[in-house]
Amino acid sequence: MPINKIGVLTSGGDAPGMNAAIRAVVRTALYHNLKVAGIQRGYQGAIENKIIDMDSHSVSNIIQRGGTILKTFRSKDFMTQEGRTIAYNNFAKHGIDALIVIGGNGTYTGADVFNTEFNMPIVGLPGTIDNDLYGTDYTIGYDTAINTACEAIDKIRDTADSHDRVFFVEVMGRDSGFIALDTGICGGAEAILVPEMPNEILGLANTLKLGWGRKKGSQLIIVAEGDEEGGVYEVVSKIKDKIPDLESRCVILGHIQRGGSPTARDRVLASRLGNAAVMTLLNGKSNVAIGLVNDHIKLVSFKDAISIRKDINKSLIELADVLSS
């Protein structure tokens, strides 16, 4: 069945580069004489019929903007069959033949269920700062997030050195340590705690003591928010059981990592993937996620993208240990 109109939405957590992806979807669709509708507020907007027609002007001057012009939402209503049926009926009213969804694991899960129930062609774009989706080397927003975190860590380093203190910095990464690992290496951290690796508090305490033995006045510890030892305050509490006189400070970077103008790398990645998503639909393929692997476009099923765990490069942990010695 030919596609005449594509709907595009962003869902879940926002990520820098989402606007660049929306722009690429809209401009590519128009180039191929397709109509485009923007669904505002993600899957919730589909249920609430917040659907607008988009043209080339709709995406002018947005490639450099963070966030998402279509807004985003974590919709509990879409988790129900009733909610999904309402969304499908609204799509039909607007003549939408296919969907392109931009988001993370939850977005892909919703798309997979929706495709199964209504057989609507859907393609997903990996829009998440966590870089934890299988089927792509990098997700949209990841590069910007680690650059933002690294900039903040550089400034924290200045204060740490000035006061000869230990700083514990928590970065995002509830289930994955990609952000922590890369920012820890580029920030020269003495230790990096990630969910994928067992982290013994005793080992971290020894690392700090070794640093003092080498006359290190200040030290920097990066903690992924989902680390098995807990968040940054829990880690510090456990460390103080081992080193009662520890002089330290805690910093949680939080949502600052989500915001800001996307880097050049994220803009190019989002543009390539947005274009590829439209072309994938035109080539008759759907229920897949678009990724970039070894600089080549790759398609994986939603089920694989959701269920297969993407592992960090554990050799980078060893590299961080060597470089911090």
pTM of the model: 0.94
The answer, yes or no, to whether residue 69 has pLDDT greater than 80, is yes
Active site residues: 130
Beta bridge partners of 211: none
Amino acid, single-letter form, for residue 146: I
Cα–Cα nearest to 64, from 150, 131, 123, 144: 144
Q: For residue 283, what pLDDT band results from cuts at 50, 70 and 90?
A: very high
Delimiting residues of CATH 3.40.50.460 domain(s) in the chain: 143-258
For 160-207, what is each residue's pLDDT tens digit?
Answer: 989 888 999 999 988 899 999 999 999 999 999 998 887 778 888 888
- The DSSP output letter for 284 is T
Mean pLDDT computed over every residue of the chain: 94
- Residue 247 has what pLDDT? 84
- Residue 65 has what pLDDT? 97
Q: For residue 227, what pLDDT band results from cuts at 50, 70 and 90?
A: confident
For 250-282, what is each residue's pLDDT tens digit?
Answer: 999 999 999 999 999 999 999 999 999 999 999
Q: How many residues does the chain have?
A: 325
- Residue 84 has what pLDDT? 98
Cα–Cα nearest to 16, from 112, 138, 166: 138
Identity of the highest mean pLDDT range in 113-127, 160-174, 217-231: 113-127
CATH architecture of 5-141+262-307: 3-Layer(aba) Sandwich (3.40)
Task: Round to whole Å and give the CA distance between 251 and 248.
Answer: 10
The mean-pLDDT minimum among 35-49, 78-92, 221-235, 301-315 falls in 221-235
- Residue 310 has what pLDDT? 93
CATH pick for 143-258 out of 3.40.50.460, 3.30.70.260, 3.80.10.10, 3.30.930.10: 3.40.50.460
The answer, yes or no, to whether residue 136 has pLDDT greater than 90, is yes
CA angle 141, 252, 269 (to 5 degrees): 5
- Residue 198 has what pLDDT? 77
- Write out the H or E segment, with its range, that includes residue 221: strand 219-224
For 41-65, what is each residue's pLDDT tens digit?
Answer: 999 999 999 999 999 999 999 999 9
* Strands 35-39 and 166-171, bridge-based pairing: unpaired
Interhelix angle 105-118/81-93, nearest 10 degrees: 70
Task: Round to whole Å and give the CA distance between 161 and 274.
Answer: 44
Quick one: tokens of 56?
């080339």
